[in-house]
Amino acid sequence: MVRSLSADEMAIRAPWMEWTVGDVAAHLVTIIRRMYTDPRRSQAPEETARLNALGLAEITERDPQKLADQIAEGLAVGLTRAWPKVADGVRVPFHAGKSVTIGSAAGIVLGEFLIHGFDIAVTLGCPWALPRRQTALTLFGLSEVLYGWVAPAAAKVKEDFHIALAGESSPLIVSFAYGQFSATLDENYATRSTEDRIITVEPASLALTVVYKRLAATDPTLARLSSLLLPAQVWRPVRAAPYVQAVNCGCSVRFQAHPSVSKCIQVYPSVSKRGGSSW
C-alpha cells in the first residue's frame, strides 16, 4: 500500500493523530529496527510516545518508494535471519519495562502493520481488512504485556470478562483484581456452562475498540473493558474529532477524513452475545 501512494498522499495527516501518512510509514521502519538493531524501549507507558517521536525524528525519508523498500528489506532480514535465531521460550524486552516471548513479539509486530495500515486506509479512503486469524494472533501477543497498561480506574475493581474471539476455539478470560491484570485462554471452556457470561466479538472489533482505541465501543461490555485499559497508542493524540456512526460496525469511529472512509470499516461486524451473530 505504501508503495502505491503519491507524495501528496504521504503528506496528509491521519485524522486522530499528529502524524502524516508518511510519518506512519516511517514509524513502521522504526518498528522493524527494534526487531534486531535498536534496543531502546520505554520504561513506562507514558514514555512510549516520546520514544516513538525520537525514533521517527531519526528517519527523514518520506518518499513512498524508498520507505516501502526499507520496510520490505527490513522485514526480510528480521523474519528470515534475526528472529529465527531466538528460541521460542526466550523473552525479549518490550515497552513499559515489560518483556515478551518471541512468539508474542511477532504477534505484536504483526499488529503494528495491521493497525497502522488501518490508519493509512482510513485517512485516504482505501479498503483495508483486519483478517480474523492475524488479528487474533496480535491480541494473543498483546495479552502478555497489557498488564503494563492497566488504567488507574482498575485499581478499585474486581471484574472478569469472558471474550470469545470469532474463529478461535477458546475464549479469553480478562481479569482485573484491584489493579492486577491477567489475560488467559479458557482451555476448559467446552466443559463450562457459562455462555451467558461470554461476549462474542470479532478480533478486529476488540482490537480497534479496546486495545488500540481507534473506534469507540457501543457495546457496554466492551466499553467497560476499554475504560479499564490505557490506550496502546504510539503518538500524542490531537483534538478529539466528532463521533460518527460507522456502517454495520457496532462502533462509532472518530474521523476527519475522506468521505469514502466507510469503505474501510464496513467489513467489521458488530459485537453479539453468544448464540447469535450480527453484521
pLDDT at 232 (0 to 100): 66
Residue with cell 503519491: 6
| Least trusted range by pLDDT, from 60-69, 167-176, 230-239, 254-263 | 254-263
Residue 68 and residue 3 in contact, taking contact as beta carbons nearer than 8 Å: yes
What residues contact residue 106 under an 8 Å CB cut-off, 6+ apart?
Answer: 83, 137, 141
90 pLDDT more than 90: no
- What average pLDDT is seen over the chain? 81
Query: In this predicted model, what pLDDT tens digit does every residue of 118-140 receive, in sequence order?
Result: 999 999 998 899 999 999 999 99
Total-model pTM: 0.80
Predicted local confidence at residue 277, as pLDDT: 27
Grid cell listed for 6: 503519491
Where do the structural domains in the chain lie, given as residue ranges? Answer: 2-142, 151-273
Which cell numbers hold the place of 56?
A: 521517527
Residue 189: per-residue pLDDT: 62
Q: How far apart are CA 43 and CA 27, in angstroms?
A: 19
Query: Which one is the CATH code of 2-142: 1.20.120, 1.10.1070, 1.20.140, 2.40.160?
Result: 1.20.120
The torsion angles phi and psi of 111, rounded to 5 degrees, stand at -65, -35
Q: Is the pLDDT of residue 54 over 70?
A: yes
